[in-house]
Structure 1
Amino acid sequence: MRRPTTAEKIARDLDWNLLRVFLALAESRSVTEAAERLSLKQPSVSQALKRLEDRLGQRLIDRDPGHFALTPQGIALLDEARAAHAAVLRAALAVTEAGSEIAGEVVLALASHVVTPVLDRALHDFFPRHPKARLSIEILPSADALARVASHQASLAICLWSNPPGGLQSAVFYREFFGLFCGPGHPLFGRKGLGLADLAGHAAVSFQTDRLGDALSAVAHLRQQAGLTGPIGQSTHLEEVRRMVQAGLGIGPLPLHVAAEDVQAQRLWRLPPYEDPPAIDVHLAYAPKARRNRAEQAFLDHLHRVLADTPLSARIYGP
């Protein structure tokens, strides 16, 4: 009879609850926050981490006053713990959703600037027809949204497609165009006949992905062309970038169709360039080999039908 390997022994004896505690610690990076998230006392969280480290024979987290960091072993375990968590959820859902009706939870990871009637219509058409399907929407930076899909923590993502993890596929969901804007109180607000050179030397605010080589590389190039300084303020959320622009912190990029209402209400002022603004594609991202519950598969199929029935020309929001 073959003797079990060390890895098989660990898998046989490992308590899933210890992995659950480790996952909460790794994602919250705080014993206090992890305890609140798990509804446990802090000593229980610390003891669970110690038991897991003892069982694996590896230190997973370095913790000192003012310092919290995963060790290389902890980093290696994190993706596996996420995958195990997703597998446990799928197993529970598979048992409870064994009937013929479409049911289950759809976790939709969205970038903050996803504004399109195509998605609104898809949600309206799908979920009222399937009352046992549940929807959870998480607003995340695009890189994190893609990572959630790759680790099976999210059903699908609608976000920017930049340096995606392996194993994912995507389809263009819509195309948006970015412009530069300032808010009331800015010296350029309300001024007409401006050229790109008039922006030089003014401070900028922007998205954290507004970097050359990143998802908003075209926007970063525009900011450099305009000679803007900074950025002095950044956020992963469109609402906060818009807030900084309106508050007068600096000139910032926003999708033209998202900013249109604020421009009309004089809460924002469009700045040059007025022609050939940078185009950014927003993608539907999914893991083709993932095991999905019925609601996840049905909703993904529904989105593919919506995209097939709606030509890209009708999903372009721009000049």
Structure 2
Amino acid sequence: MLSSHERLLRNLDWNLLYTFLTIVDEQSITGAARKLSLSQPSVSNALKRLEAHLGVSLITRRKGVFTLTYQGLRVYEFAASTRRVLTDMAEQFSQNESEIQGEIDIQIASHIHCPAFDQTLAKFHQLYPNVLITINTQPSTEIVRAVGAGELHIGLSNKKVSQTGLRFDLLGYERMGFYCGQSHPLFDKISIEPEDLSGLSYVSFESDQPGEGLSAIAQLRTQLPFWGKLVAVSSNEEEIRRLILAGVGFGSLTVEGAKPFVELGQLRQLPPYERLPTAAVYLVTPETTPLTDVEKRFLAMLREAVSLNVEQVYFDEPEPEPK
């Protein structure tokens, strides 16, 4: 059996409360009727129905007098608070049907720096502000596995594999360099040769090994006397940088990611300084799994951005010098 307040909640008509709020805001039945595009009798009847439902008088109405009773003031405060909540909800869910909404889940290897991707994020958000973008970092191997298993539709990875059902688009390349922190013995050394790194503690990405996304770094270390004691491993660029800054060992970072720390004097680049190892950046997507509309739009925009960047780098002709 319902209690009295449960019956009140069940049977209370929001339209009656909304009409009451409008009456109070307009300070008259006539003004409320005009605001609501209703007849005066309809508005007056709604007020009477609400008073009967609540069992209290809400407004004192006499010639030249329009005031709220004590109970009317309480009802107005509660109803006004409810209106604010419902207004927020209406704004959230009554968007224009023509507006694009949805969610995009993206996983990216933490050390990847891709200008076309950054440009696409900015442009996409500007065009579709109601789309929620979620980005998390994962090792390249895990990203490829997740897309292949249908758990993920958009990934940025350094790793490419031959697997049916997967599409790999080359987005570009990132250069990798070797760095040490201020407390490292090589930081203040005037001249550093590659052999100076031999035998020193080394901090490594998990994918810094043959056959993985950063295999170019592993290959370089086999060609030069870089191999030392491996002291720390992580898949996250932020943690690799933390270890290097803390002086745990030297290690590799993307040149773009390390640049601000080099300029602040917190990192020093180590040899080699030329012909640095590069890692390819791939967009990993499923070939057969159906994509959502917002995912299709984002991918089309990203691929277009990559194409434009390639044209600007390789095909744009420089402006002729004035004669």
Output the TM-score relative to the length of structure 1: 0.64
Gaps of 5+ in 2: 1-96, 315-323
Maintained 8 Å contact 1:102/1:298: no
| Structure 1 counterpart of 2:122, from 114, 121, 124 | 124
1:115 Cα offset (Å): 2.3
Partner Cα distance (1:302, 1:128) in 2: 12
Per-residue CA deviation, residues 25-77 of structure 1 (Å, 9 max, x unaligned), is xxxxxxxxxxxxxxxxxxxxxxxxxxxxxxxxxxxxxxxxxxxxxxxxxxxxx
Query: What residue is the counterpart of 2:22 in the other structure?
Result: none
Q: 1:114 to 1:126 in 2, by over 3 A?
A: same
1:221 Cα offset (Å): 2.2
Query: What residue is the counterpart of 2:205 in the other structure?
Result: 207
Partner Cα distance (1:280, 1:134) in 2: 29
Counterparts of residues 295-306 of structure 1 (less than 5 Å): 295-306=294-305
Rg larger in structure? 2
Partner Cα distance (1:206, 1:107) in 2: 28
1:204 Cα offset (Å): 0.3
CA RMSD in angstroms comes to: 2.1
Percent identity between the two aligned chains = 30
Query: What residue is the counterpart of 1:266 in the other structure?
Result: 265
Partner Cα distance (2:116, 2:307) in 1: 12
Gaps of 5+ in 1: 1-98
Maintained 8 Å contact 1:143/1:164: no
Q: 1:288 to 1:302 in 2, by over 3 A?
A: same
Partner Cα distance (2:278, 2:312) in 1: 13
1:313 Cα offset (Å): 7.1
Maintained 8 Å contact 1:179/1:253: yes
Per-residue CA deviation, residues 224-250 of structure 1 (Å, 9 max, x unaligned), is 323331321000000000111111111
3-state SS, counterpart of residue 190 of structure 2: coil
Aligned residues: 218
Greater than 6 Å deviation, 4+ residue runs = none
Maintained 8 Å contact 1:146/1:165: no
Per-residue CA deviation, residues 141-195 of structure 1 (Å, 9 max, x unaligned), is 1111112222222221111124364311111212111111111111101223211
Q: 1:170 to 1:272 in 2, by over 3 A?
A: same
3-state SS, counterpart of residue 229 of structure 2: strand
Maintained 8 Å contact 1:204/1:231: yes
Output the TM-score relative to the length of structure 2: 0.63
Maintained 8 Å contact 1:126/1:299: yes
Q: 1:313 to 1:307 in 2, by over 3 A?
A: same
Partner Cα distance (1:241, 1:130) in 2: 35
Counterparts of residues 190-229 of structure 1 (less than 5 Å): 190-224=188-222, 225-229=224-228
Partner Cα distance (1:133, 1:127) in 2: 7
Counterparts of residues 129-168 of structure 1 (less than 5 Å): 129-163=127-161, 165-168=163-166
Query: What residue is the counterpart of 1:291 in the other structure?
Result: 290
